[in-house]
Chains A and B, each alone.
Chain A
Amino acid sequence: MSDVIIIGAGPAGLAGAIACAENGLRVTVVDEFIKPGGRLLGQLHQEPSGDWWNGIKEAERLHQNAMNLSVDIRCGVSVYNLEKCSQNWNVHTSIGTLTAPFVLIATGAAEYPVPVPGWTLPGVMSIGAAQVMTNVHRVQVGKKGIIIGANILAFAILNELQLAGINVERIVLPEKNPNSQKAGEPEEVLKSLLHASHLAPSPLLRFGSKFMKKDWIRKMGINFYPKNGIKINGTPLQLRKAALEVIGKDQVEGVRIADTDANGKVIPGTEKIYEADFVCIAGGLYPLAELAAVTGCPFHYVPELGGHVPSHSETMETPLDGLFVAGNITGIESGKIAMAQGITAGLSIAKHAGKGKNNINNKLQQAVQNIRTVRQNAAIQFNPDIDRGRSKMKQIWEDQHNNNNQTQEKIG
C-alpha cells in the first residue's frame, strides 16, 4: 500500500510526488492521459530572457526525477470517485480501488466551452486540443484555420501553431450572447488584452498598452480598431468581427462571420462566409475540481482564480483530513506555479505524516514563499487579478480556521 495517492501527473502532481518521496513516503501517481506531464506537454513559449519554455522537456525531467525516487506512476488510469473510509481514502479508478491515508488532487484545468452554432462539426476543437495535436502528437490539425475567442491562451497557442507551420487565417470573437458574455464584447476583450499586454506575444499590443491605459483612449481604440484587424505575426486579430455559425456537412467547411460595433452588436448586411477546414474555440480555463467536490470538500467562488475552487490553505491542505490540492485545481496559473504548489503540497503531506524531521516547518514556509516569488516573475499570467484571488482564499481559510478554533473552545 502507498502512503500517498496523487491524482494527476501534471507539474503539480509530479512535483508533489517528488517532494513526498524525498521525505520517505511511498507514492502512487495516477493519470488518465497516455503519458505523464499533464498540460505541460505541448507548452512552448519564449521567456522574457529569450529562452524557450519547452513543456515536454520539463515533463521529462520531472518524470525522470520521480522515477529515480521509485514513485509508481500509472498512466491511462481514470479516477471517477473518491471517499474516506475510517483512516484511509479509497480512490476508485478504472483499474480498481486504491487506498492510502493521504490523497493529493492535482487534476489541473479544463477549458470553458463557448457554444457557437455548428460547433459539433468534426474539425471544431478547443484551442488546447490543437496545442496537444500539434506539439504532442505532431499531427496537423488542418490547412486553414480560424480561432474564435481572443485571450492569452489563444495567443500562446496561435504562436505554437505558427511555429509548426499551421496556417491560421484570423482570430475573431464569438457572437455576443449570454453564453459568450464578455468574450463577445470587443471593448471588454481589448481591455483584458491591454491588461495582459506586457505578456502578450505581439509587440504591437505591447506597444499599444502604453498609450491605451486611459479609458477614453481605450474607447477610441475600439472605435477606430481597423476593420481588418491588427496582425499578430501575420494572423489578423479581428476584434470587430464575430463568428455567427460554423458551417459544413460532414466536417468544417467555413465560418459565417459578421462585422460588429464596439459593443459587439452585429452590423446587418455585413455577413460573409470564410473558408476553413478547422476551427479552434478559445473560451479560457477553469479549475477541474469535480473529484474534490465528490469528497464533500467545501468550495468557494473566486472569479480571479477561474471559478469555483476547493477550500484550501497556503500549505495546500483542505478542511478534510488527509486531502490536499495543488496546481490549477486551486486557481488558473502557469506551469511553474503549479510546480511550486506541488512541492508545497508534498512537504505539507510529509509534515502531516510525521516525516521530514524538525526542519520540515522551515522547508514548508520556504516553499510557500517560493510560490509567491515564482508568481511575481511569471512570464504568462491568465488573470491579472490573481494576487487578489489568492488573498481572498487565504482570508476565507483563516476565517474558517478561527471559527473552528472558537467553536472547539466553546465545546471544550
Chain B
Amino acid sequence: MSRILNHPIFGKINDRKQVSFQFDGKTYEAYENETIAAALLANDVRKLRVHEDSGTPRGFYCNIGHCMECRVTVNGQSNTRACLTVVQQDMVVESGKLLPNIIRRMVEEQ
C-alpha cells in the first residue's frame, strides 16, 4: 500500500530519512520512526506470522499493542509486537512460525 504523503488537514510529509531492514530474509525500505507493522504494510506485506498450531495467516489487528496478533521475532527476540516496535537500520525481523504442539503430541502418544 502506498503512503499518504499529502493530507488535506495534516499537510505534506517530506524529508524523512529512509532506513532498510530485513523481513524473512528480504530487504525492505522504511522511514525512520516507523513501526514494523506500518513499514511492512507500506511494502504490501500484510502477513506477519502464522498461527503457531494451525499455521493459518495473521496480521496486525489493533495496531496499538492490545491484542498480540502482530508478534514477530526482532533481532532474535521472539514475541515482539510489530505495531509497537520502531524499525532500526539493519534490523532483522522474522515472521512468527509454526511450532510443534507438545501437548497434542503427548495426547497422540497416549
Residues of A participating in the B interface, judged by any CB pair closer than 8 Å: 32-35, 39, 44, 52, 54, 56, 76, 78, 110-111, 113, 120-126, 128-130, 132-135, 137-143, 163-165, 250-251, 288
Answer whether A139 and B62 are a contact pair too, CB < 8 Å, given A121-B57, A163-B9. no
Do B58 and A122 touch across chains, with their CB atoms under 8 A apart?
yes
Of chain A, the residue at the smallest CB distance from B61 is A125
Answer whether A139 and B1 are a contact pair too, CB < 8 Å, given A133-B41, A288-B66. yes
Give chain A residues whose Cβ lies under 8 Å from the Cβ of B2: 139-140
Do B60 and A125 touch across chains, with their CB atoms under 8 A apart?
yes
Give chain A residues whose Cβ lies under 8 Å from the Cβ of B64: 33, 39, 128-129, 132
Do A250 and B63 touch across chains, with their CB atoms under 8 A apart?
no
Of chain B, the residue at the smallest CB distance from A111 is B62
Give chain A residues whose Cβ lies under 8 Å from the Cβ of B75: none
Do B3 and A126 touch across chains, with their CB atoms under 8 A apart?
no
**A244→B42 CA distance, assembly (Å):** 29
Do A164 and B63 touch across chains, with their CB atoms under 8 A apart?
no
**A54→B9 CA distance, assembly (Å):** 9
Cβ proximity bits B46-83 to A, threshold 8 Å, 1 near / 0 not: 11100100001111111111110100000000000001
Of chain B, the residue at the smallest CB distance from A138 is B4
Give chain A residues whose Cβ lies under 8 Å from the Cβ of B63: 125-126, 128-130, 132-133
Residues of B participating in the A interface, judged by any CB pair closer than 8 Å: 1-5, 7-10, 13, 33-35, 38, 41-42, 46-48, 51, 56-67, 69, 83-84, 86
Of chain B, the residue at the smallest CB distance from A248 is B57
Do B62 and A250 touch across chains, with their CB atoms under 8 A apart?
no
Give chain A residues whose Cβ lies under 8 Å from the Cβ of B38: 133, 137, 139
Answer whether A251 and B57 are a contact pair too, CB < 8 Å, given A33-B64, A111-B62, A137-B34. yes
**A128→B61 CA distance, assembly (Å):** 9
Q: How far is the CB of B51 from chain A (nearest CB, A)?
A: 7
Which 4 residue pairs of A and B lie closest in terms of their CB atoms, listed nearest first?
A: A122-B59, A129-B63, A122-B46, A137-B38
Do A123 and B59 touch across chains, with their CB atoms under 8 A apart?
yes
**A110→B38 CA distance, assembly (Å):** 20
**A229→B33 CA distance, assembly (Å):** 41
Do B42 and A250 touch across chains, with their CB atoms under 8 A apart?
no
Q: How far is the CB of B66 from chain A (nearest CB, A)?
A: 5
User: Can you spell out 8 A-B residue pairs with CB atoms less than 8 angstroms apart?
Assistant: A39-B64, A110-B66, A120-B69, A124-B61, A125-B62, A137-B35, A138-B7, A139-B1
